[in-house]
Structures are given as structure tokens and as C-alpha cells.
Amino acid sequence: MALGDDWPDLLTVNEVAKILRVAPLTVKRWGKRGKLPAIRINSRGDRRYKKEAVLWLLGASPSSEAA
């Protein structure tokens, strides 16, 4: 089982913060700076982050490439 196999395709700010071991505010700042692009959903504008982008930050490749 590869890293990230059990993660959903879109992650919340808090999930990303927990995975990367940083504060949620840091994740939001990275989004504003373009380091970790966010997808805005619903009318509130909640942020979601692609699993592949988080894996890239960790230096791991997505497991789908291994097949």
C-alpha cells in the first residue's frame, strides 16, 4: 500500500495540515502563494486540495503512476 492510497481525492485544509504537520493557516498561505493550489467549492468558498499536489509536496509520486 502506497502513501496516500487511503486519502480522498480532495482534502480539506485540516486534513492537509495534519498530513504535512503544519498549521491550517500555513496551508492557506501556501495556497495564496501558489505553492499548493486550492480548489474553491460551494457558496462559502471552502478550500479543497488535490491529493496529487499534497503528495508532490511530500516528494512522493501518486500511486496511480505505478500501475
Give the class (CATH, top level) of 10-66. Answer: mainly alpha
Domain segments of the chain: what residues?
10-66
Angle between helices 13-20 and 24-33 (to 10 degrees): 100
Query: So what's the pLDDT on residue 4?
Result: 80
Q: What is the mean pLDDT of residues 57-67?
A: 65
The per-residue pLDDT for range 43-52, each reduced to its tens digit, is 999 999 999 9
- The sign of the dihedral angle between the CA atoms of 10, 39, 37, 33 is negative
| Cα angle value 63/51/11 (rounded, 5°) | 145
The per-residue pLDDT for range 15-39, each reduced to its tens digit, is 999 999 999 999 999 999 999 999 9
C-alpha cell at 59: 516528494
- One DSSP character per residue, 11-31 reads E-HHHHHHHHTS-HHHHHHHH
